[in-house]
Structures are given as C-alpha cells and as structure tokens.
Amino acid sequence: MSPAKRLGPRNLNFIRNANMSRIGKQPIKVPSGVELKVNGSNVAVKGPKGKLQRDLHPNMKIEFQDGEVKVTRPTDGRLDRSLHGLTRTLINNMVVGVTEGYSKQLNIVGVGFKVVLKGKGLVLNLGHSHAIDYPAPEGIEFDVDSKKNTIVIKGANKEVVGQTAAEIRGFRPPEPYKGKGVMYSTERIRRKAGKTAISKG
C-alpha cells in the first residue's frame, strides 16, 4: 500500500494545508529594479520582463516593507492556511515573472507538420485540412525554430504561458501509436503497438 493510501484523504489534506501554511510564512524578497505596489488585496508588479497586476483574496493581509513582501492570515482555520500559501505563491510567481520570465517549449512531430511565425503569431500545419492561425495572446512571445519544428512560449505571467502551451498542444495532441502531434519538450509518450503489430505478434 502506498504512503498516500495509508495516510488517508483527511491526513493528506492536513499535510497539504500545513505545507501551504509554511510556504505562506516565508517572506518574498523583491529584487532591486522591480516596482511593487500593494493596494489592499491588489498587487501590481513591474520589472524588466513586463508588468502584472492581480486581485488576491481579501482575507489575506499583504505588506511590502524594506524590500520584502509578507503575507499574514487572520486565523489558523483550514481555508486561511491554504489561502496563505496560495497567496504567497501567486505573488512570488509575479515577481519571478517580471524579473526572469517563464517559458515552455513545444515540439512538433510528424511528416509534413510545421510551424512558422506570422507577425507576432503562429501558423501551424498539423495535418488538418487547413492551416491554423494562432495570434499571440497579450504578453506572450514566440520563438520558432522551423528546422527543429519547435516553439518556445515566453511571458511574464506563468499561468498564461502554461495556458497558451496547452491550447497549442490541444490542436494536435500526441497520439500513442506513431507519436505524431504537438508535445511538451519534457513529455514522454508511451507508444502503443498498432493493430498490424499486434496481429503479427
């Protein structure tokens, strides 16, 4: 029996909340050259990679002083412990996003499949009856290597980078028989034997 099953859902939730609570207590150091403003539950961050703004849960108290952001919770209740860590994580992602940025790489695999830049957007040929025009979402940049058939999605907003990658992958998810499609660079496809291979076996 796995450790997760032995612990049970209640204990697992307790551990997750405890972990989020510990994360929430850690201050966030804001690098020099980054502007951060707190207005109630609204946080705005500006740095070399762009600017982001977000409304966070009003239960959490957010303070920015002496180059550090601190998040405090009103109670030790389960919801507030969970929100504590989540709020801290979201603010930290914003700070990292405007200083270093986020990126995801997609690989396109398949004979005749290709991708090219068109202005700031993409044109994808993925074996459909027509090419797919995909305009760049706000705050997103694409780097395309046409020879290697790769796309690098870059942006300051971690969630938008991830969502953009998921949308493009969704146009032609990798299929398990020949491995053709759009896949994350870190993705490994478990190949299945086709009907012909099975019948020969």
90 and 112 co-located in one domain: no
Given a contact cutoff of 8 angstroms between Cβ atoms, the answer to whether 136 and 120 are in contact is yes
- 90 lies in the same domain as 133: no
Q: Is pLDDT at 144 greater than 70 in this prediction? A: yes
Residues 46, 65 within the same domain: yes
More confident residue, 194 or 147: 147
> Does 88 lie in the same domain as 14?
yes
- Whether residue 88 sits in one domain with residue 118: no
Residues 93 and 124 in one domain: no
Residue 2 lies in a domain: no
Smallest CA-to-CA distance from 68 within 31, 42, 24, 39 is with 31
Q: pTM, whole model, 2 decimals?
A: 0.81
* 14: pLDDT strictly greater than 70: no
Place of tokens 């496809």: 189
Q: What is the pLDDT of residues 155-187, one digit of tens each?
A: 999 999 999 999 999 999 998 878 899 999 988
> Are 77 and 33 in a shared domain?
yes
**Domain enclosing residue 129, as ranges:** 102-190
DSSP letter, residue 88: H
